[in-house]
Chains A and B, each alone.
Chain A
């Protein structure tokens, strides 16, 4: 018989760095889940993506057991990385302005395809490009479609 689901918890945390501090502690502890068990599993499964922000959806069952799905890093986070925007120490440089190429947009769109509600790579690319613009990033190069 399928186990009864008591809650879904949607988090974004850094790969390889889960610990019982907020948000994981309060979000899972209040559901009676063994937080340390979650952290050990999550960290072991994300060693290759250490330091990257990863969305994770945790299903908590009525017997306090759990399982979880780790998604690909958000497009916005990948775009920031692609644009190599450095964290400026000068406050006046905080405004994020940078560029990404269409090739980078395509690579991110391909990575994100399994999680995006898109049927074609073109529509995934235009979603990623839209996200880039709203972050203040210019998309450069030849538009491939």
Chain B
């Protein structure tokens, strides 16, 4: 959860206790731990914090309650430092992705402005550039598109620039909501509808092109739903996984009656897969 207050607790104890602490606390809703050698920092969403449970665990491990220090951390853009200085990206000589503080580049076909705000999708990651490259080879003219797990909205922006008639985009992430809107405005894009939530939001509609750059588990668990919302002859473009995950994803896609059109990987083994849905016999 990225838009809630967190409780941060610094616990000074022996290194031997770190492992026990993290095991016990992770059973009680604590999400993450930082090992700082002389002390450990533990984190839990503030509304899940329970003083009594923490005290019991400290007693169990014979940790002096006086040796801990608690802070509340408000939600903020932790990625601001990187975002303030990132370099523009050029993809396939025709897409240029830059922040609002970069100058536009001359002689580029598709100029995209992205202000990321702790959301995924700036073109720097292999999967984003692979998907964008694949999109250049797809006919988007007057097509309807579903951008599943849209992050910054970068793929929706490109889809509209490539001629799509409309894009429906979703993401479960708290920060995506404002960020997508901001990026659509920066690029003067209309025709994109964003909803915060998972794929269950999409009911009754089908799209010419479905794009999903997420991860293996989400793609596998929602494959039937994804395939159901692709129109006959429509396309499904997926990424967010490694080449070793292709077998499982391919099997799931084929079992839903899709036909594999293309597969491409980078040298870091990130992979995209493109499928087409056949007409109903």
Contact = CB atoms under 8 A, between A and B. Distances in A.
Max chain B C-beta neighbours (<10 A), residue from A21, A64, A74, A80 = A21
Nearest to A45: B242
Nearest to A37: B125
B31 interface: yes
Given A10-B34, A24-B32, A29-B79, A77 B2 contact: no
Interface stretch (B18-26, B103-111, B158-166, B194-202): B18-26
Given A9-B34, A10-B34, A131 B22 contact: no
B79 A35 contact: yes
Nearest to B50: A91
A77 B79 contact: no
Contacts, number: 150
A40 B240 contact: yes
B215 interface: yes
B60 A26 contact: no
Contacts of A20: 2, 78-79, 118
A21 B125 contact: no
Interface in B81-118: 81-82, 85-86, 116, 118
B222 to A, nearest CB: 14
Interface in B1-44: 1-2, 4, 6, 8, 19-20, 22-24, 26-28, 31-36, 41, 43
Secondary structure call for the A interface: mixed
B138 interface: no
Nearest to A10: B35
Contacts of A24: 32, 78
Contact of B78 (A26, A45, A95): A26
B27 A40 contact: no
A26 B79 CA distance: 8
Nearest to A16: B217
Nearest to B35: A10
Contacts of B33: 11-13, 23, 53
A85 B24 CA distance: 10
Contact of B31 (A21, A76, A136): A21
A53 B32 CA distance: 8
Secondary structure call for the B interface: mixed
A35 B42 CA distance: 19
A10 B36 CA distance: 7
B216 interface: yes
Contacts of B215: 16, 43-44, 47
A75 B16 CA distance: 12
Contact of A34 (B61, B73, B76, B79): B79
Contact of B35 (A12, A37, A77): A12
Max chain A C-beta neighbours (<10 A), residue from B4, B32, B52, B75 = B32
B241 interface: yes
A76 B60 contact: no
B80 interface: yes
Given A36-B121, A79-B23, 20 more contacts: A10-B34, A11-B35, A12-B33, A16-B215, A16-B217, A20-B2, A20-B78, A21-B4, A21-B31, A23-B33, A34-B86, A35-B79, A44-B241, A47-B245, A53-B33, A76-B24, A85-B27, A94-B53, A135-B20, A136-B60
24 contacts: A13-B32, A13-B33, A19-B1, A19-B2, A20-B78, A21-B31, A23-B41, A34-B124, A35-B79, A36-B125, A37-B125, A39-B120, A40-B127, A44-B215, A44-B241, A47-B217, A47-B245, A53-B26, A74-B19, A77-B22, A80-B27, A94-B56, A134-B61, A136-B60
Interface of A: 9-14, 16-17, 19-30, 32-37, 39-40, 43-45, 47, 50, 53, 55, 64, 74-77, 79-80, 85, 87, 91, 94-96, 131, 134-136
